[in-house]
Amino acid sequence: MALILLANIFHKINVPLIVLSLAIGIIFGSDVLNFINFDNAVLTKEVANIALIFILFIGGFSTKKEDLKSVIKPVSLLATIGVALTAVITAYLFYLITGWPLYISLLLGAIISSTDATAVFSILKNQQLQTKVKTVTEMESVLNDPMAIVLTTFVLSLLGGEKLNLARATLMILWQLLGGVGIGVIIGLLAVFILNKIRNNEKEFFYVYLIAIVLLGFSIAEMLKVSGVISSFFTGFILGNGKIPYKKGLLAFNNTLSFITNMGLFILLGLLSSPSQFYQVWWQGILIFIIISFIARPIAVWLLTLLTDLNIKEKTFVIWGGVRGTVPIVLATYPAAAGFDDTNQIFNIVFFIVALSMLFQGTTLTYLMKKLGLQSKDKDRTSRTLELVTIQDTNYEVIDVYIDPDFYEGSCHIYELKLPPGTLVIFVTRNRKLIPPYGGTLIKPNDTLTILVDKEDIDMIPVDILNSFIFKG
């Protein structure tokens, strides 16, 4: 209840819900109010894995094939070489400034090197960010986790006395990435086939089946020692771009699951933290945050996007969009498990960095988007597809078209709209009230039109309707 009330208060100043969830956990934890004494790192790690599975599945489900193809080059570079470059630069500068052991510095750099899908998807979810920049930022956060995991494991093996083996490390990374993609695609194609075979079942069965598919894809990937998070994303990607019944309802259902697990995860992370120990590590945390945010990541992004079509403003947003979150905190538990962090110093430093990242980067991304002029002003952004609930194959969809007063002025009657044959305006929503439409109904800015339309004509509808108004931009 406290989270819901705070979310309502802080929504207007764009404070991400994950930041509030983290704060709730800290406040109710043992170091502040001491209402809940929680120190189960193993349970937290398991919850983190479950949350990540559904968040990435939804990310894949919502990603259009055309959008991913358009950014595959910068994303693949940033998710692999970019992570390694960020880790090395961060570690070396931290080593020079503090005099910490080089391998421990490398371990910190590896743990904190990847951007976090949980945080990035949560923050950008409802933002009207231009498609290309949003896709690059989100896809990088999905695909760079395996690199950070492999780097962290690799440095821990060096600390444990194993000899440096670059060939083995390279093969591990390739297997994690390519294996994760392969398993995700196979499970996704199988799921599409089965969903269409059971299309006559009750709708509720589809929800249960979808949960099973998500968990199955992740489990098989982990069993084969490939990236479960990448597998989850591509399972969702294949399903989201396939022809399946109840697609919009399934998306809404998974969004709810993702939201609940996401908020629960960050509350648990807040409960697990020990703010009373931050005084011992605060300056190291601030130092690494400054290095990674203003030196290491900018260098990596600028170098690896030189031959791409990203402009200066887009690169700037991608740099600042490298929010740290769940995965670094989960990776921060690895050193203690391996016997290299008995005092939890590394965990506390990483937690402090993640808190800084979400607090400063997470809360300012929307402001930066508007400041750089990257807010989407495409006319198509005013429309969204709803679910037409039917188990029969149909060429029709139901869409909403919003007449955004920030971009449009004027008015027109329904009979004045030049809509494709067979298109029907079902109703008009005005001031939260439904208006049964007829030919003489006057449409105004701030209205939402719900329309039944042939799939082939969907892209034409917003243009046909909005051309009847005066575009301000």
For residues 426 and 284, state if they share a domain: no
More confident residue, 464 or 305: 305
Whether the model pTM is above 0.85: no
- Cα distances from 332 to residues 9, 278, 325, 327, in angstroms, run 32, 15, 11, 8
Per-residue confidence (pLDDT) for residue 381, from 0 to 100: 47
Residue 380 pLDDT greater than 50, yes or no: no
- Domain boundary (345, 371, 397) is at 371
Per-residue confidence (pLDDT) for residue 294, from 0 to 100: 96
Residue 379 pLDDT greater than 60, yes or no: no
CA distance 21 to 272: 13
For residues 363 and 399, state if they share a domain: no
Per-residue confidence (pLDDT) for residue 355, from 0 to 100: 84
Q: 129: which DSSP letter?
A: B
Cβ atoms within 10 Å of 39's Cβ, excluding its own: 11
175's tokens: 């297997």
What domain range includes position 451?
379-471
Per-residue confidence (pLDDT) for residue 104, from 0 to 100: 92
More confident residue, 49 or 320: 320
- Domain boundary (312, 342, 371) is at 371
The pLDDT > 90 percentage for the chain reads 20
Q: What is the CATH number of the domain that holds 263?
A: 1.20.1530.20
- Domain boundary (355, 371, 387) is at 371
For residues 41 and 89, state if they share a domain: yes
For residues 257 and 402, state if they share a domain: no
More confident residue, 435 or 456: 435
Residue 391 pLDDT greater than 90, yes or no: no
* 45 — pLDDT class (breaks 50, 70, 90): low
Mean pLDDT calculated for residue range 206-231? 87
3-state helix/strand/coil string of 395-417 = CEEEEEEECCCCCEECCEEHHHC
Q: What is the CATH number of the domain that holds 460?
A: 3.30.70.1450
293's tokens: 């945010």
Residue 300 pLDDT greater than 90, yes or no: yes
- Helix 131-143 / helix 312-320 crossing angle, nearest 10 deg: 40
For residues 175 and 266, state if they share a domain: yes
**How many domains is the chain partitioned into structurally?**
2
Residue 41 pLDDT greater than 90, yes or no: no
For residues 111 and 213, state if they share a domain: yes
Mean pLDDT calculated for residue range 322-347? 82
For residue 24, which of 11, 39, 35, 40 has the smallest C-alpha distance? 35
Residue 42 pLDDT greater than 60, yes or no: yes
For the stretch 228-283, pLDDT in tens is 878 988 999 999 888 887 776 777 777 777 777 777 777 887 887 778 888 888 99
Phi, psi of 358 (to 5 degrees): -70, -35
